[in-house]
Structure formats: C-alpha cells, structure tokens
Amino acid sequence: MGRIKKKGTSGAAKNYITRTRAVKKLQISLPDFRRLCIFKGIYPREPRNKKKVSKGSTAATTFYYTKDIQYLLHEPLLAKFREHKAVAKKIGRALGRGEAGDAARLEKNLMPKVKLDHIIKERYPTFVDALRDLDDALSMLFLFANLPSSEYIPAKTIALCQRLCHEFEHYVIVSNSLRKSFLSIKGIYYQATIQGQDIMWLVPYQFVQRTAGDIDFRIMGTFVEFYTTLLGFVNFRLYTSFGLVYPPKFNAKSDEEGGGLDAFQLEGRAIVNEGPAENGDSTNAIASAEAQAEVDKIIATTGEEVETEEEASTALVPVDEDGNTDAIDKFEATAQGADVLPQPQSSSAEAASLFAPFTFYLSRETPRAPLEFLIKAFGSKRVGWDSTLGDGAFTTNESDPSITHQIVDRPTLPTVSQHEVSVEPEATNGDAPAPKAQWPRSTMPGRTYVQPQWVWDCINQGKLLRPDLYAPGAELPPHLSPWVKPKKGEYDPNLPLEAQEPEGEADIFSEEEEEVDVDGEDSDMEEAPAVNGTGANVDALVDRESSVEAGEGMDVAELDDESEDEEDEDEIADDWEGFDSDAESDVSEGEAERRQHQRELEAEAAGIQLESKAPSTKEKKAKLRKDAEKKRKREEEERERLKMMLPQRKRKLLKRIEFGTDKRDKEAETLRKKRRRIENAKQAAEAI
C-alpha cells in the first residue's frame, strides 16, 4: 500500500505561496518585500482555483509563485536591506540618547548604498529588451520631472529625472528619431523609433501640480529609483553608439535661468587609433579621422549657426505639386470599402529636413518646451522666443528679419483697433527705420503666423500643411490621433458627410429639423408676446377673445357658430372631393397607385388626356426615402434568412458581432447629425 498523500503538498497548492508566508520566508519587512519585488519584476498572481490553493479558505489573499520567492532567496539586496535595518537601529538608539552628531556620522559612513546595476543586467539581457521596456520608464520620469518638491519627493530626485529626460531628448533630436506626437487631455504623447523599436511616452502639461494625499509615494519612489538606473544605462549606450560623450556638459547657470535643453552641450568622442601604422599604412588613421569628422558634423548641426550643408540637403527633398515635401509613396485603396493598407513612415532624413529651412519664433503665450523639442527634432536649429521664457534662445528680438514663422496662440484684434494703434519704427544710423513687429498690433511682412497645432499636424502627416488653415483666430481643423485609423463604417472627421452617410440620411435629417423648427415656431408664437408695427400683441388678442363685455357676448358666440359651420362644410366637401383631395398623402402607397389607375381609366373612358403632374421636391424625397427603406428591409430579410441557416453556436457569435456593429453605427450617426447641425448653423450665419 502506497503512502497517503497529504492535502496541500502538490499541485496548485504547492505552486503558489501567500504574501505573509513569503515575507516570513525571506525574513524581511513588508515594505522591503514590496521594494524587492518591484526591483526584480515579480508581481502577484491569481490562481485559477483559489479554494484549492488556500486549502478551502475563500478569504481575500495575495498569492505569488513559489519559484519566484525561492529565486529571491539568493538576491544580494537582501543583505543590503538587513544592513540598512541594523544601521537604522543604531541611528535610532543614538538619537534617543541625544547624540545627534553620532547619528549623522553613522548615517554618512555606515549606511549601505543600494545599487541596481546587476538587476538591470538580469532583467534586460540585450539592449533591445531595455528599449522595449522604456515606455513606462519615460512616462514616470517625465511625470516626476514636472512635480514640485515636497517631503515625499526630494528636490534631488526631481533634478535627476529632469537631467535624464533632457539627455534622452537631446539624443532624439540629434538622431532624428521622433516620428509622431499628439495633444491629448492627459498630456502630450510622443513616439520615437530607436533601433527599430517604437517607443511611446507621455509628458504632462506644465501646470501647477497638486499632489493628493491618497498617493503612495513610497511605491512610486521605488519605481523611479529603478527607472532612473535603467534610463541612465540606456542613455549611455545610445550616446556612445552615436559617437557622443556621455554625460554631456551641463551648464548650471543656464539651467537656473530656464535654459532647459540648451543647458546641455553635446560633444563628440575623440577616436584614437590603437594599433601603430606599419610600412606607412595609414588606413586606420584615415578611417578614424573620417569618423571623427562625421561626429563633429553631427554636433555642429545642433548649434545655432546656419550650415550650408543643411540648405543643400533640403534642396534635394522632393516637392509635390502643392509645394509640400512629401517623398513617401502612399498606398491608396483601389475600391470603395477596401482594406486600408499601412502607410510607410518618414525616414530620419526626411524628418530632419521638414523644418530645416525655417527660423521659428515662439510668442510668450505658447508652450516653449514641447515646441522647442518638436521643432529641433525635425530639422530646425533656429528657434527663438521671448526673454521671459528662459535662456538659450536663437534670438529674443521679435523683429528679427530672419524669422520665417511665428507661433502665436491668442485671438486677433479687431481691424479697427489695429488701425487705431500706431507702431513707431525704430531709427537705425540714418537709414530707413526698421519695421518693429508687436503682435497682435502689427505683423511683419513676409512672415508666416500660425497656431501651435500646425507644428503637430505637419509632423503627423509628414509634410508642410497650408498655414492659412492655422492662422491666428481661424477655426482649426480636427486634431486626430495619428495612431488611430478610421475603420469602415466609423465616423471620419476628415471626410465630407456626403462620402460617409448612407443614402437618404440627409433627407431624413432635414425633415426632422424642419419638424423641430415648426414645433419651435409654434411654441414661440404661443409663448412670446410678438409685437411689431403691423400687428397687435398676441396676448392682447387672447385677452380680447376671452373677455366678454356688455353687448359683445352674443356677437362673439354667433361668429363662433358660423366658423364651426364653415369648418363642417369644408370637411364634408373634402370627403366628397373624390380622388383629388389632400387625403391621398395619408393613404398607403398601394391605395395611391390604385386611385391613380382609376383616374387613368376614367379619363380614358371620357376621352380626356390626363395631365401628368410633376412630382414636388417633397414627393421626390419621400420616394427616395421609401426606396431606401425597401432596400434596407430586403437586405435585412436576406440577412435573417442566411442567419437561420447557421448553427446555434455561430448564430450567437454573429449576434454579438451585430450588436457591436449596431452600436458603432449609432455612434457614427449621432456624430454625423451633430456635424450636420453645425454646418447648417454656419451656412445660416454666413447667409445673414
């Protein structure tokens, strides 16, 4: 007879372990256990059958894989945590005795420093693995870089996050890796392609952040500690692979004055030939010199001077009929309703030449940091702004004649006020006075004024768009996410309504609007006291009818009786009017055809030619609507017939698919109606 197997010693009960047992097994505190799990990438697991794992208990319990906890037993950080706990006890004992100097000495000399280098190497065996896991790291670090310092977030951590984020942005600018960007409610999304990997991160808007009290900053601080180490390794690898010195030179004075990206200065690595040249062979030396020249050229393009090579490279960019730089072939659908093919993305050379020939000036009301990053990432190295926005501008003079584009984000002043304000030009050394631009009072001739959305839309579409659509005060086109492509049947704001609405929907909508307008006018006539020069007050008329004075009551009654008799006579006449009455519109279509046929027979018997009455516009719309309704009914009947031939399982699946399709169609119809109302309102306003 075999040995009896105990319950809970094999299977799922052995594969999982509770958090309490895991903490006891590792002999560390719960905060240290959480910190260690975050560093190692170990997360709670949900077993399929909780009752089997917890030996019949159904209480809420956190489970981990037993193998993961056994893996943590050999972690070197456990010894660091225990040393930290021992030193913390000594410091507490010294503070209890009032020996503050000894406590400071113990914290400075004996407190162990936790390094995560070996964990980064364990979790990311290759550099591509680190790039794939960079999305959350960048989003978290950019978030902490915009937070204010507090007792939970030290200023040193915020400065470290800002430095790492600026270093990463500099690499994106130099390598022209940025591809897309999108303005959302949460913040600004960016996507860069680095070594074939798409990296997307979110940057919050630079507003005053107020941290809530229900946020566990210890957990977030642990993630920040790990992500700063990861991004430091990634930045080092990216800079060295591109031939740059890491870390770049940091100008603390410029950073204090709001320099931002310009507080960092990139340098190329000096390439030294290790092997001596034999027999006059200087091939290695020439190769090293050429490589160093390429690095120096890249660094030079990040400066403020205008390079002639940049102008030459922009001259080689293909230009389409509209003057837009669009060198990518686009795959368009061959038929209506066909699959949308994925479009190729712009290369780094095309991204580097999008804004290269232009000089930008940012007005005070525009967000400087994102615009500077985007414009420099797409070729332009000449970005100026007002001196109040910080240090590092290409120019702080708004009247600089080299400025080609000025980005403004304020409404234009009325034409009267523009003429009323006189702009005094500045005199220069006896020459003609130079024009001085003071937007929005005056503008510089030859300069293009656009709103900030123009930069984002040009980047997402990979070409220069018409600036007049983004002029100050103009109604901007819809800003859509570049990662969401409209599917078949969904509402597309870029297409006209006629191209995406079903047949007869516009007529139905116009009739509904007319009914609503008529009802609204009737209610207005009943409620509003309409007084004009030709008629009397409606309320006065109602009061006059309701009031009965002496000698007028019998007359009013007689008039009412006469009007009722006339109405009865009219109704009788309508009933005996034959087939030409207006009641024909209320009968069914079959009855109308029968009556029409009867009229034709009577006319033929009497020898009279029946005049064909041309259908009115309302009748045409009604006929089109009926035809569309018939077509829809036929398609629905055919669909139901085909559905009955399916087995029950596939029929349920089809039902779920149809539910999602109907929901999508209703949403699209609602959006189309909303757009139709807006367009009708615009047309009415223009007509007035």
pLDDT tens, position by position, 431-453: 555 556 666 666 788 889 999 99
Same domain as 185, residue 85: no
Residues 34 and 125 in one domain: no
Query: Quick one: 187 and 235 in the same domain?
Result: yes
Domain boundary among 63, 81, 109: 109
Contact 460, 180 (CB under 8 A): yes
What does the pLDDT average to over 531-542? 39
Q: Which residues have CB under 8 Å from 196's CB, separation 6+? A: 128
Q: Which of 325, 130, 109 shows the shortest CA–CA distance to 226?
A: 130
* Pair 65, 136 in one domain: no
* pLDDT above 70 (res 604): yes
Whole-number Å distance between alpha carbons of 538 and 546: 12
| Distance of alpha carbon 432 from the chain centroid | 48
Q: Based on the domain organization, do 257 and 136 belong to the same domain?
A: yes
Quick one: 61 and 210 in the same domain? no
Q: Are 402 and 357 in a shared domain?
A: yes
Give CA–CA dist 341/328, Å, rounded: 14
- Shared domain for 62 and 134, answered yes or no, is no
Residue 290 domain flag: no
d(C-alpha 189, C-alpha 494), whole Å: 21
Run of H or E including 315: helix 308-315
Q: Are residues 129 and 230 in the same domain?
A: yes
pLDDT attached to residue 328: 53
Number of domains within the chain: 4
Are 184 and 123 spatial neighbours (Cβ–Cβ below 8 Å)?
no
Three-class SS state of 362: strand
The C-alpha atoms of residue 584 and residue 590 are separated, in whole angstroms, by 11
Q: For residue 589, is it within any domain?
A: no
Position 425 scores a pLDDT of 47
512 with 658, same domain: the answer is yes
Query: According to the model, what pLDDT value does residue 465 have?
Result: 92
Residue 318 maps to a domain = no
| Residue 3: pLDDT band with limits 50, 70, 90 | confident
Rounded mean pLDDT, 413-418: 46
Q: Which of 109, 139, 171 is the last residue of a domain?
A: 109
Domain boundary pick from 234, 265, 296:
265
What is the average per-residue pLDDT within 218-236? 94
Is 334 part of any domain? no
Distances (CA, A) of 570 to 438, 558, 578: 74, 18, 14
Rounded percentage of the chain residues whose pLDDT exceeds 70: 69
Question: 382 lies in a domain?
Answer: yes
Predicted confidence (pLDDT) at residue 513 exceeds the cutoff of 90: no
**Residue 246 belongs to domain spanning:** 118-265
Residue 374 located in a structural domain: yes
**pTM given for the model:** 0.70
Read off the pLDDT of residues 256-314 as tens digits, 9 standing for 90 and up.
Answer: 888 888 889 888 876 443 333 344 444 444 444 455 556 555 555 544 443 333 343 33
Please report whether residue 551 resides in a domain: no
- Half-sphere exposure of residue 144: CA atoms within 13 angstroms, side-chain side: 29
Of 118, 156, 191, the residue nearest 345 (C-alpha):
191
The pLDDT of residue 317: 41
Tell whether 557 is covered by a domain. Answer: no
Q: Do residue 242 and residue 146 come from a single domain?
A: yes
Which residues are within 8 A (CB) of 143 and not within 5 positions of it... i.e. 6 or more apart? Answer: 202, 204
pLDDT single digits (tens) 392-408: 888 888 888 899 999 99
Whether 77 and 129 share a structural domain: no
Q: What value does the mean pLDDT take over residues 620-633?
A: 76
